[in-house]
Chains A and B, each alone.
Chain A
Amino acid sequence: MTVPEDLLYTNEHEWVRVEGDVAVVGITDYAQGELGDVVFVELPAVGTAVKQADAFGTIEAVKAVSDLFAPASGEVVEVNPLLTDAPETVNKDPYGEGWMVKVRLSSAGELANLLKADAYKQLVG
């Protein structure tokens, strides 16, 4: 299970990569391992406003369904088109090709509420 040092994390197992005023969001390696084979990712349309800690989408694995929680508030500016036909990409490359949405941050100060890699490692033990 990998936890890249350069990302921020939520308690609900999303990760964030901050690129200027945009946050790239996905789920962690731990989360994809717990979920198992992902068969569907339901994501919001470009232009949707999301709010930190609110559900913004869902992820379906064979056995279970989980909500996805927004790590930060803002507007969805891009949705990963690959996941429509290849949702299993989330299992194969959770921190890379398996990213889910890009959000233009409306209050960058919120990022202070997220966990750093060390804290997230402790969370998932």
Chain B
Amino acid sequence: METRKTALYDVHQQAGAKLVEFAGYYMPIQYRGIIEEHRRVRTTVGLFDVSHMGEFIVKGPNAEAFLQKITINDVSKVDVRQVQYSAMCYPEGGIVDDLLIYRFPDHYLMVVNAANLDKDWEWANRHLIGGVTLTNESDRYSLLALQGPMAQKTLQKLTALDLNKIDYYWLDEAEAAGVPMMISRTGYTGELGYELMMPNESAVKVWKAVMAAGAEFDIEPIGLGARDTLRLEMKYCLYGNDIDQTTNPLEAGLGWITKLNKGEFISREALLQIKAAGLKRKLIGFDMPGRAFPRHGYAIYSGGERVGVVTSGTFSPSLEKGIGTGYVPVELAAVGTPLEIEIRNSRMPATVCETPFYKK
């Protein structure tokens, strides 16, 4: 399939982005460098194009019942204009995808991972029930993420809506930069921030207006490279790394979104059994002293025995050391437990640590 471009492709090129293929799109991996972009988001503000993400709209009298069936969090608890982090699971308990559910007055919006878009669409349609209209709007909308301590001050210059009225994981519909859009106080960085969803035709206008409004705060465009280091410092899960079909939400640390008592849903039986049997392993965070950097796929050892695999790992620009995540047996999951990571045939010391790795 031909690699696609987001509405902002030309803007990224002009900004000097290094564009790489990701989930079927040419996406900016970096502009000026991952470390500098990362620090900009932590210290002031940055703007991301995340238009590759998928958007499904769920309408109809049974929309809530449908989402209750295919997701593990309790959709009945989501108020109008509220956002919920959730996941879809297979009947065996493995994860189809993690996603956000946004509730509007007359419909729900599912925002799913780009790499899983086709699989999610097929999965949702396979489990569709009567009284629900499901549409894939992924090609119509652009999604921008404005993240960092100065995100609110930047966006406030462009809208009459009082942004103080949008709490964390809530949304509103308003005009900003003269464009009607959805503004949600969400993000994948651990910083104050907003995500803006608008039709593709308006994306360039909004991007330029936000960049101009943020100029006084030294705003810069941020690529997917820094998006990954920012999310990992918060230990936010990345599908395909930390969670996938072979991992269940309980061992992934997503028990807080797994509402086993909300009623029937796909995977409930399996997750109840897994919980009753007790978890065998857990997704932990670890850090490494010196210049040793863990990577996805490296083996984790304890006492000479291979006990797990690194699911995400990087140099942490905030902490300036190697940090990583991986699944280890529960008896090795306590903070302070020494581990070893095999890096190019030598085993380097690591320690299970508190997460998020990065704290304000």
Contact = CB atoms under 8 A, between A and B. Distances in A.
A12 to B, nearest CB: 17
A40 B293 contact: yes
Interface stretch (A59-67, A70-78, A101-109): A59-67
Interface in B224-254: 225, 228-229
A63 B228 CA distance: 9
Q: Categorize the interface residue count of chain A.
A: 10 to 19
Interface in A8-53: 33, 36-37, 39-40, 42
Given A36-B30, A39-B315, A58-B344, A63 B293 contact: no
B180 to A, nearest CB: 37
A91 B36 CA distance: 13
B344 A36 contact: no
Contact of A62 (B18, B291, B317, B344): B317
B293 A39 contact: yes
Contact of A65 (B30, B33, B34, B295): B295
Nearest to B290: A40
A36 B229 CA distance: 13
Interface string A79-118: 0000000000001000000000000000000000000000
B266 interface: no
A62 B295 contact: no
A36 B293 contact: no
B348 to A, nearest CB: 12
Contact of A36 (B33, B291, B295): B33
A40 B293 CA distance: 9
B35 interface: yes
A58 B291 CA distance: 12
Given A60-B315, A62-B225, A37 B33 contact: yes
B314 interface: yes
Given A62-B34, A63-B29, A63-B228, 17 more contacts: A33-B18, A36-B34, A37-B34, A37-B35, A39-B35, A39-B291, A40-B315, A58-B344, A60-B291, A60-B293, A60-B315, A62-B225, A62-B314, A62-B317, A63-B34, A63-B314, A65-B295
The 10 closest A-B pairs by CB, nearest first: A40-B291, A39-B315, A62-B34, A37-B35, A62-B315, A37-B33, A60-B293, A37-B34, A63-B225, A36-B34
23 contacts: A33-B18, A36-B18, A36-B225, A37-B34, A39-B35, A39-B291, A40-B291, A40-B293, A40-B315, A42-B291, A58-B344, A60-B291, A60-B293, A60-B315, A62-B34, A62-B229, A62-B317, A63-B29, A63-B225, A63-B228, A63-B314, A65-B293, A91-B33
Interface of A: 33, 36-37, 39-40, 42, 58, 60, 62-63, 65, 91
